[in-house]
Copies of this chain bind each other. A is one copy, B any other.
Amino acid sequence: MKVSKFGGTSVATGNQIEKLTKIITDDPARRIVVVSAPGKREDDDVKVTDMLIDLGEKCLRGEATETAIEQSVERYRSIARELGIEGAIAEEIEADLQTRVAYNPADEGIFMDQIKAAGEDNNAKLIAAHFNHQGINARYMNPRDAGLLVEGEAGNAHVMAEAYEELEKIRDYDEILIFPGFFGYKPDGQLVTFPRGGSDITGAIVAAGVNAELYENFTDVDSVCVANPKVIDNPEPIHHMTYREMRELSYAGFTVFHDVALIPAFRHGIPVSVKNTNHPEGEGTLITAERSEKHRKYPITGIAADEGFSIIYVHKYLMNREVGFGRRLLEMVEDEGISYEHLPSGIDDSSVILRTAELSLDSENHLLTRIQTELGVDDAYIEHGFAMIMLVGEWMDETVGIAARATGAIADAGINLEMINQGSSEVSLAFAVKERNCDETVKAIYNEFYAKQLYE
């Protein structure tokens, strides 16, 4: 059994939904379809979810909602029209939205969650109707009936362990199930949406619950690439990678997935496939727990980069003879509610690398003052504007010379390395450079590990 999730652009038009339909019917193992709300049809289009947020906010402000409801319904109606099923389904969706806007708005978070969830929910109903119209044995599956139990605040649902047991039962349906992404229900029946990447999370949870042989994530790219296509022209595709590689790459700016969305699949050992709805015959990218030697073409699997890092530098003579210094430094960072990323240390020096977004001007000043006064340091200051570059590869720790080739390429490009961190993770090697050098660093590393081998 495969669980196939389709993102917003894959369900944005009747034409796209026909592609989805063909993909599902082409493989009898594809038994569960998880769908997003209709996404953008072209760059300046409005996503249904954004229309719904606008609708919900109008409700909360007590403004008229008719136009906003009609706008959303028209979006579904145009899709239904394309699919030749105009009529009943559009009326059903309009009635659904009218019901939702009439909910009690006392708790704004709960109210908004119910409005937002309409995007996926109605799209699942529309697609189920289309499947049935095509004579396919399919049905809409409500997450409450499926037992997708969650806990947490509005907009920040977390799956409950019990959900997996409940979801296992939906293996038994004869019909293909069309499952809306993005939301689940608390044990008391309250709808709650997932955070960012919500439909991906639903897909991963359902795949884990039914113990799918494969979780397919259909999107609008042929595969995950070894580097950001905005920086590298036509980067090499990654046809196979491991969970660990995916996670390390996601961390530093790979945006195909929100890495945390896949955790339910990873935790349950479900392989994940990334495919293109518009080109489903392509190889795509397969993500599994283990990597086999035969897939190895390059010594590294990918290069990720992310900007927006800051470094706190602390210098104190004889620091390394002071038991507890590092721990006290981290306590101060923690007291400000700041997560740190790396903590390179020397004999008399320690640095804390963190995301600039973790800092406010207040917390930055407060933290520096505490470090200066309470730790009795000789010097402490902070610098902003760093980028982190990560080289990721499952055999990195066994391959002599990766660091040498990467640092050599960076040096040849005339770029100064602010930090090198290797030795903890077996699958990654991290560099910090100034933000202005970020793209050039990625290019230098890409050319070293990919272009050279291809063209020399």
**A interface residue numbers (CB < 8 A to B):** 244, 247-248, 251, 260, 263, 267, 311, 313, 317-318, 320-321, 323-324, 326-327, 330-331, 333-334, 337-351, 353, 397-398, 400-401, 403-405, 407-412, 414-426, 428-430, 432
Contacts and interface: CB of A to CB of B under 8 A. Distances in A.
A28 to B, nearest CB: 34
Contacts of A251: 320, 347
A26 to B, nearest CB: 35
Contacts of A331: 327
A342 B327 CA distance: 12
22 contacts: A244-B348, A247-B347, A247-B348, A248-B346, A248-B347, A320-B339, A324-B334, A326-B340, A343-B343, A344-B424, A345-B421, A345-B424, A346-B430, A351-B423, A397-B416, A400-B416, A401-B407, A401-B411, A403-B417, A418-B423, A419-B423, A421-B421
Nearest to A314: B424
A422 B420 contact: yes
Given A323-B337, A330-B327, A419-B423, A404 B400 contact: no
A398 B411 CA distance: 12
Contact of A407 (B347, B407, B428): B407
A234 to B, nearest CB: 27
A382 to B, nearest CB: 14
A220 B420 CA distance: 39
Given A324-B330, A344-B423, 15 more contacts: A247-B347, A247-B348, A248-B347, A320-B339, A321-B339, A327-B330, A344-B422, A346-B421, A346-B425, A346-B430, A351-B424, A400-B417, A403-B411, A404-B411, A420-B420
A263 B318 contact: yes
A260 to B, nearest CB: 8
List the 6 shortest-distance A-B pairs measured between CB atoms, nearest first.
A419-B423, A346-B425, A401-B411, A327-B330, A404-B407, A404-B411
> In this complex, which of A423, A426, A428 has the most chain B Cβ atoms within 10 angstroms of its Cβ?
A423
Number of copies: 2
A248 B408 CA distance: 25
> In this complex, which of A331, A333, A341, A343 has the most chain B Cβ atoms within 10 angstroms of its Cβ?
A343
Given A349-B425, A416-B398, A343 B326 contact: yes
Contacts of A429: 420
A50 to B, nearest CB: 28
A305 to B, nearest CB: 15
A190 B395 CA distance: 62
A236 to B, nearest CB: 23
A57 B327 CA distance: 42
Given A401-B411, A404-B404, A350 B424 contact: yes
Contacts of A412: 401, 404
Nearest to A331: B327
A277 to B, nearest CB: 30
B339 A342 contact: no
Contacts of A339: 320-321, 323
> In this complex, which of A348, A407, A412, A429 has the most chain B Cβ atoms within 10 angstroms of its Cβ?
A407
A192 to B, nearest CB: 20
A394 to B, nearest CB: 14
A337 B327 CA distance: 13
A263 B159 CA distance: 57
Contacts of A327: 327, 330-331, 333-334
Contacts of A348: 244, 247, 425
Contact of A424 (B318, B349, B414, B426): B349
Given A324-B334, A327-B330, A339-B323, A344 B401 contact: no
A422 B344 CA distance: 7
Contact of A419 (B401, B422, B428): B422
Contact of A421 (B244, B313, B423): B423
Given A327-B331, A327-B334, A404 B408 contact: yes
Contacts of A351: 423-424
